Structure 1
Amino acid sequence: MRPKERRDSGQADLLRSRLDAIIDMNHALVKLSRTIDWSFLAERFGAVYEDKPGRPPLPTRLMAGLAILKHTYDLSDEVLCERWVENPYYQFFCGEEFFQHRLVFDRSSLTRWRQRMGEEKLQALLQESLSVATKTKAIKPSDLNRVIVDTTVQPKNVMFPTDARLLNRAREILVRLAKGACIKLRQSYGRIGKFALIKHQRYAHAKQFKRANRALRTLRTYLGRVIRDIGRKLEGNVDLLHQIALDRMLILARRVLDQKQHQRGPKVYSLHAPEVECIGKGKAHRPYELMAWTTPAPSGNVESGGATAGA
């Protein structure tokens, strides 16, 4: 059943005063409620419901208004419900004609409404907010032609190019992808690979570097065996989706396997963010920084800046 939308009846009550008679009609929320196209939101959100018997849903203006208030003032569901009962401007914004002393909805209705609408339908709120901002001249239409993204700090979980954890992580990801593609490996090295990583960390902590390098070579051997085993069994044995994921990961794993400490050219510092690069900044306190560059959108309407990535 579709929601029964509210309409301003204009009728008075003998025992109660109308909200528009006791509040300031020049308030920001009152002006905003008059600017928003509630019929557009009702049409977009109403398409989710089906004409079936049952209890009618809550009005779209009530739920959409609550969602706008929640994100505008950065409130939790509990605080939003408390302020809605106390604030007549909140109630007028959500379509009430008379002041309500109790909630006309349940708090859990907010969560269920968001889940029912989904992200795609909630984009209508963003679309309507941009429309209102344009009508009120808060922004110009020319400001929407280009989006400039410039970030200065973006933490990344990066590792040293020859780190033992990077080798072990590459092997674990390959084994997991192979299992998802139903590829039976000769050996996954899950248990002994973990022990080899622990050995390397303990030897390095104790400054026993010969033994640590021996454990590092063992991890490198395990990764190379898994790469070759998957490469032999990959062609024509899995579907296209799994093959694309495995091919991409095999390329990264081979780069991790072959890269050296002092080699020139790009290195892999993180498997989940292979775009991270190391550049020299010339700073005395930090000679090198890791930068992740965002790829521009295909339409060419997005300009992006670099983001510093820290270990």
Structure 2
Amino acid sequence: MYRKVEQAPSPAEDFDLPFGGKLAADNRWVQLAQLIPWSEFEAEYAQNFETEVGPPAKSFRLALGSLIIKEKLGISDRETVEQIRENPYLQYFIGQLSYSNEVPFDPSLLVHFRQRISAELVNKVNGEVVRRLREIGSADGEKKNQSAEIEPPKNQGKLIIDATCAPADISYPTDLKLLNQARQHTEKIVDVLYEPLKEKILKKPRTYRQIARKDYLKVAKQRRPSRQQKRKAIKKQLQYLKKNLSHIAQLIESGATLESLSKKQYKMLLVVSEVYRQQLELFKNNKQSIEHRIVSLSQPQIRPIVRGKAGQPVEFGAKLSASSFEGYVFLDRISWDNFNESGDFKAQVEAYRNLTGSYPESVHVDRIYRTRENRAWCKERGIRISGPHDGRPPANVSPEKKKQALEDEKIRSSIEGKFGQGKRRFSLALVMAKLPNTSRTAIAITFLVMNLSTGLKRFLCVFLCLFAKTTLVSRLVIIKNYHSTYESQQKLIRASA
């Protein structure tokens, strides 16, 4: 059951502190609480719960605020709960009205928060936050809106588009290691299915687990095993796995039920069966790749993403299509399969138009986006796309075009800086969530926190500029008053003389 709570952030001065004093209004968590539209998306979050059944659920502000705290501080679920317990500013950020020394919730609830708050909902919050930040940053926002009603909006702004990969927390996969793990899981499943049939089947199916492990370690411990040794070891593991799967089928025919397996074991059995099919096809046909290849038993949604980078030619995780303008970054698409990012070009430009009210003046992309279709689409809308034209390059390039190309590349590289910020400062370099939906939410939260950090820095810059301007004006007034006082004193001295 979900009870609607008033999510409008109350003033920091109203937060009750038992030991006296007040929260500082210029604290970063107080300022962030004012930026996030808590109440606008509460109804969508409440759809995850029944209206009148069950205990009251945690509020949307507490759920989303806890995920933001975890990502911004770069800490674990347990440490997040402890930090909230110790810090009154964090308690104010998640919507509490007074300080409490008790644990706000169990750390395991953060997993449920990531399941209930989808990546689509986080992206909506991200778009609304950026819209608010842009309205605050533009002093003449109302004038622009009034002029937009009279005249059609002109192309303005620079949009940057690129794609990257968010690696998942898995060990580097090899065919031999994957088959060995699959064999071990089938041995446990055989033990569980045989347990209720002990009296009916006196002889337990033989799995050769000790021999199979020795065969695996014989090759896995070698520094550089030959290709022939690897194929021989893979063939043996395939035979052991095939025998275990046939034992499972025989036990089911003898009366064992899949209900005796846990939900995790049943899911693992399905994954292992698919891994056996894929690895057998790769072995028979002597191939290196197969469609929808599974590289992790615990996270079967992960696929190898070939990126062609110098350091890591292949990454294992989700592929992201993102866009950026005015220092803000947006997550446009998440996919576990590799895809051609040029197909998202039009949708990303239209998303920019929906957010800003006009098409961009220029779009800065790399070579893969510069297709004929995308170029023609941009030409119809008066959008300049960066990069050279198709065909043979001209013999003589004017200095103006060289300068324009250099400026375009500098602008385009800013999104690479955003990817670096997400991977070095935040958790985009290694996504620790295991489930597909929780991984999507964790990635989307990273983009939201990056935009909140950008907005917070700009607020600080505006505050410092206003402070410096005020200080300068006050100094000028003091100097002016001093000069006027000095001149009046000199007049009095002359008159008395």
Within a 5 Å distance, the mapping from 1:148-227 to structure 2 comes to 148-149=163-164, 157=172, 170=179, 173=182, 189-197=208-216, 219=233, 222=236
Q: 1:102 aligns with which of 93, 100, 112?
A: 100
Is there any run of 5+ residues in structure 1 with no aligned partner, and where?
12-16, 160-165, 233-239, 260-265, 282-288, 306-311
* Aligned CA distance change for structure 1 residues 174 and 218 (closer, same or farther; 3 Å): same
Please give the secondary structure, in 1, of the residue aligned with 2:87. Answer: helix
Separation in 2, partners of 1:171, 1:83: 47
| 1:79 pairs with 2:77 | no
* Aligned CA distance change for structure 1 residues 291 and 79 (closer, same or farther; 3 Å): same
| 1:301 pairs with 2:344 | yes
Within a 5 Å distance, the mapping from 1:24-173 to structure 2 comes to 25=25, 28-52=28-52, 56-75=56-75, 76=79, 77-84=81-88, 87=89, 90-95=90-95, 100-103=98-101, 106-109=103-106, 111-112=108-109, 114-123=110-119, 124-137=121-134, 146-149=161-164, 157=172, 170=179, 173=182
CA contact (8 A) 2:85 2:91 kept: no
Separation in 2, partners of 1:10, 1:223: 62
CA contact (8 A) 1:174 1:226 kept: yes
Instruction: Report the Cα offset of residue 242 of structure 1.
Output: 7.7
Please give the secondary structure, in 1, of the residue aligned with 2:281. Answer: helix
* Aligned CA distance change for structure 1 residues 120 and 298 (closer, same or farther; 3 Å): farther
**Aligned counterpart, 2:278:** 248
Instruction: Report the Cα offset of residue 194 of structure 1.
Output: 3.2
* Count of aligned pairs between the two proteins: 253
Separation in 2, partners of 1:168, 1:9: 52
Instruction: Report the Cα offset of residue 132 of structure 1.
Output: 0.7
CA contact (8 A) 2:64 2:113 kept: no
Instruction: Report the Cα offset of residue 47 of structure 1.
Output: 1.7
Is there any run of 5+ residues in structure 2 with no aligned partner, and where?
138-155, 194-204, 247-269, 297-302, 320-337, 346-365, 369-415, 417-497
Cα deviation code 1:82-102 (max 9, x no counterpart): 112xx3xx45544456xx242
Question: Which one has the bigger helix percentage?
Answer: 2
Instruction: Report the Cα offset of residue 131 of structure 1.
Output: 2.7
The one-letter code sitting in structure 2 at the alignment partner of 1:121 is I
Separation in 2, partners of 1:44, 1:150: 29
Separation in 1, partners of 2:243, 2:123: 49
Separation in 1, partners of 2:115, 2:9: 33
* Aligned CA distance change for structure 1 residues 106 and 122 (closer, same or farther; 3 Å): farther
Instruction: Report the Cα offset of residue 172 of structure 1.
Output: 6.6
Please give the secondary structure, in 2, of the residue aligned with 1:300. Answer: helix
Q: 2:313 aligns with which of 291, 294, 298?
A: 291
**Aligned counterpart, 1:237:** none
Instruction: Report the Cα offset of residue 191 of structure 1.
Output: 3.4
> Rg bigger for which structure?
2
| 1:272 pairs with 2:285 | no
Cα deviation code 1:198-238 (max 9, x no counterpart): 56789x79xxx9xx9999897476457569989x9xxxxxx
Instruction: Report the Cα offset of residue 167 of structure 1.
Output: 5.4
- The TM-score with structure 2 as length reference comes to 0.36
CA RMSD of aligned residues (A): 5.9
* Aligned CA distance change for structure 1 residues 243 and 91 (closer, same or farther; 3 Å): closer
Separation in 2, partners of 1:275, 1:196: 27
CA contact (8 A) 1:45 1:121 kept: yes
Instruction: Report the Cα offset of residue 149 of structure 1.
Output: 1.3
Instruction: Report the Cα offset of residue 128 of structure 1.
Output: 0.8
**Aligned counterpart, 2:2:** 2
Cα deviation code 1:169-193 (max 9, x no counterpart): 64774796799899xxx98554333
CA contact (8 A) 2:15 2:22 kept: yes
* Aligned CA distance change for structure 1 residues 250 and 298 (closer, same or farther; 3 Å): farther
Separation in 2, partners of 1:53, 1:167: 49
The one-letter code sitting in structure 1 at the alignment partner of 2:70 is K
CA contact (8 A) 2:36 2:125 kept: yes
CA contact (8 A) 1:197 1:215 kept: no
Separation in 1, partners of 2:344, 2:233: 45
* Aligned CA distance change for structure 1 residues 254 and 271 (closer, same or farther; 3 Å): farther
- The TM-score with structure 1 as length reference comes to 0.52
Please give the secondary structure, in 2, of the residue aligned with 1:136. Answer: helix
